[in-house]
A = this chain, B = another copy of it.
């Protein structure tokens, strides 16, 4: 789907399932957008709600438990099809498409009315959601995976809706288990004029914490599959106590 996504690779997956998940994500995203723009009357809104509940019934005829990752996911390759920021199957995600760029990552997204905060502009918290993902991806691109321990955002100017944005992230400091990352949001049409600046600190959990957090997580076949880099076992051992 995104051959230049960050990080590339991962385990093989069913291309027919990927296409269908992408199709449904796209369809639901359009439905969510329509739901905030529509001016049809209350009876029609309720009729559409009833139809939507029928679709929910069809989808819930077979479901996974929360601890079992989706069949398409590869947590070690950070392929997460339902990510609320980058997931092709997520109706919540714009979705942001990320690629490697120089020493960091860059991505594009256009945010519609469903993401509005002050009238006409992106919700300030949505900028935080986007930046957390982009900064985390920049750490991964530099060979570090971690969970957010701090995130700071400075809002220089409001971010317009319905205009293509460019999102950037780059490593500032690589300190073993800890990565300090920075990033920005700008209009694609004026990429040098930063609208939002971000700085984040990501830390890889120690092995015992990792086991506590993700001990029950399995892939679709039932095999234990926690997140983390393929080399994390070594990196974590070296960094324990840091």
Is A89's CB under 8 angstroms from B36's CB?
Answer: yes
Question: Within the complex, what minimum Cβ distance (angstroms) separates A56 from chain B?
Answer: 5
Given contacts A119-B217, A132-B123, A217-B120, contact A39 B66 (CB under 8 A): no
B129, A82: Cβ atoms closer than 8 Å? no
Interface-side segment among A98-106, A153-161, A169-177, A185-193 = A153-161
Stoichiometry, copies per complex: 2
Contact call A158/B213, Cβ cutoff below 8 A: yes
Complex Cα–Cα for A50 and B123 (A): 30
Confirm or deny: A62 has a beta carbon within 8 angstroms of a beta carbon on chain B: yes
* Interface of A toward B, CB cutoff 8 Å: 14, 16-17, 19-21, 23-28, 30-40, 42-56, 58-64, 66-67, 69-71, 75, 80, 82-85, 89-92, 113-121, 123-126, 128-133, 136, 147-155, 158, 161-162, 213-214, 216-217, 226-227
